[in-house]
Amino acid sequence: MIKTDILIVGSGCSGLYCALQCPKDKNILLISKSDLESSDSYLAQGGICMLKDDTDYESYFEDTMKAGHYENDKESVGIMIRSSQDVIRDLVSYGAEFEQDPEGQFLFTKEGAHSDKRILFHDDVTGREITSKLLAAVKALPNVTLMEYTTMVDIVEKDNVCYGAVLTLQDGTLDVVDADYVVLACGGIGGLYEHSTNYSHLTGDALAIALRHNVALKNTNYVQIHPTTFYTEKHEDRSFLISESVRGEGAVLLDKNMERFTDELQPRDLLSKAILAQMQKDGTKHVWEDLRPIPRDELFKHFPNIIAHCKEMGYDVTKEPIPVVPAQHYFMGGIQVDHTSRTTMEQLYAVGETSNNGVHGRNRLASNSLLESLVFAKRAAKDIAEKYPVVKRDPTLFENFSLEKYSDKEKLRKEYEQSVILKIELDEILNPTGVDAEKRSEKNV
Ligand X SMILES: Cc1cc2nc3c(=O)[nH]c(=O)nc-3n(C[C@H](O)[C@H](O)[C@H](O)COP(=O)(O)OP(=O)(O)OC[C@H]3O[C@@H](n4cnc5c(N)ncnc54)[C@H](O)[C@@H]3O)c2cc1C
Contacts of 157 (CB under 8 A, 6+ apart): 163, 213, 345, 348
Run of H or E including 77: helix 74-93
How far, in Å, CA of 92 to CA of 7, rounded? Answer: 26
Q: Measured from the CB of residue 241, what is the shortest distance to ligand X in angstroms?
A: 4
Active-site residue among 128, 268, 362, 364?
268
Question: To the nearest 5 percent, what fractions of the chain are helix, strand and coil?
Answer: 40, 20, 40
Contacts of 246 (CB under 8 A, 6+ apart): 228, 289, 291, 294, 303, 306
Q: Which is nearer to ligand X, 307 or 370 (CB)?
A: 370
Residues 107-166 that bind ligand X (CB under 6 A): 126-127, 151-152
Q: Measured from the CB of residue 390, what is the shortest distance to ligand X in angstroms?
A: 27
Q: Measured from the CB of residue 281, what is the shortest distance to ligand X in angstroms?
A: 28
Residue 13 as a binder of ligand X (CB under 6 A): the answer is: yes
How far, in Å, CA of 164 to CA of 341, rounded? Answer: 17
Q: Measured from the CB of residue 97, what is the shortest distance to ligand X in angstroms?
A: 16
Q: Measured from the CB of residue 226, what is the shortest distance to ligand X in angstroms?
A: 8
Q: Which is nearer to ligand X, 310 or 370 (CB)?
A: 370
Residue 177 as a binder of ligand X (CB under 6 A): the answer is: no
Three-state SS for 348-383 is EEECHHHEECCCCCCCCCCCCHHHHHHHHHHHHHHH
Q: Measured from the CB of residue 279, what is the shortest distance to ligand X in angstroms?
A: 21
Total count of residues recorded for the chain:
445
Stretch that binds ligand X, among 80-88, 171-179, 289-297, 369-377 (CB under 6 A): 369-377
Residue 33 as a binder of ligand X (CB under 6 A): the answer is: yes
How far, in Å, CA of 338 to CA of 45, rounded? Answer: 28
Long-range pairs for 59-65 at CB < 8 Å and ≥24 separation? Answer: 59/115, 59/116, 60/116, 60/118, 62/115, 63/113, 63/114, 63/115, 63/365, 64/359, 64/360, 64/361, 64/365, 64/368, 65/361
Q: Which of 272, 341, 373, 433 binds ligand X (CB under 6 A)?
A: 373
Stretch that binds ligand X, among 30-38, 260-268, 333-341, 378-386 (CB under 6 A): 30-38
Task: Give the three-class secondary structure for 49.
Answer: strand
Q: Which of 4, 5, 8, 12 binds ligand X (CB under 6 A)?
A: 12
What angle, 0 to 180 degrees and rounded to 10, lies between the N-to-C axes of helices 205-212 and 409-430? Answer: 80
Residue 361 as a binder of ligand X (CB under 6 A): the answer is: no
Residues 178-207 that bind ligand X (CB under 6 A): 185-188, 197-198, 201-202, 205
Cβ count within 10 A of residue 113: 23
Q: Which is nearer to ligand X, 4 or 11 (CB)?
A: 11
43-72: buried (b, 16+ CB within 10 Å) or exposed (e) per residue?
A: bbbbbbbbbbeeebeeebbebbbbbbbebb
Residue 326 as a binder of ligand X (CB under 6 A): the answer is: no
Q: Which is nearer to ligand X, 33 or 379 (CB)?
A: 33
Stretch that binds ligand X, among 31-39, 64-72, 135-143, 154-162 (CB under 6 A): 31-39
Give the number of residues in contact with ligand X, rule: CB under 6 A: 43
Q: Measured from the CB of residue 288, what is the shortest distance to ligand X in angstroms?
A: 20
Bridge partner list, 168: 151, 174
Q: Which is nearer to ligand X, 14 or 278 (CB)?
A: 14
Residue 241 as a binder of ligand X (CB under 6 A): the answer is: yes
User: Is residue 268 annotated as part of the catalytic site, yes or no?
Assistant: yes
Q: Which of 19, 30, 48, 359 binds ligand X (CB under 6 A)?
A: 48
Q: Which is nearer to ligand X, 261 or 307 (CB)?
A: 307
Residue 246 as a binder of ligand X (CB under 6 A): the answer is: no
Contacts of 365 (CB under 8 A, 6+ apart): 49, 63, 64, 67, 68, 113, 114, 267
Per DSSP bridges, beta strands 174-184 and 334-336 are: unpaired
Q: Measured from the CB of residue 273, what is the shortest distance to ligand X in angstroms?
A: 20
How far, in Å, CA of 359 to CA of 372, rounded? Answer: 7
Q: Which is nearer to ligand X, 61 or 261 (CB)?
A: 61
Cβ count within 10 A of residue 226: 23
Q: Which is nearer to ligand X, 84 or 151 (CB)?
A: 151
Residue 43 as a binder of ligand X (CB under 6 A): the answer is: yes
Residue 68 as a binder of ligand X (CB under 6 A): the answer is: no
**Footprint of ligand X (CB under 6 A):** 9-15, 31-34, 39-41, 43-48, 126-127, 151-152, 185-188, 197-198, 201-202, 205, 241, 330, 352-354, 367-370, 373
Q: Which residues are catalytic?
A: 268
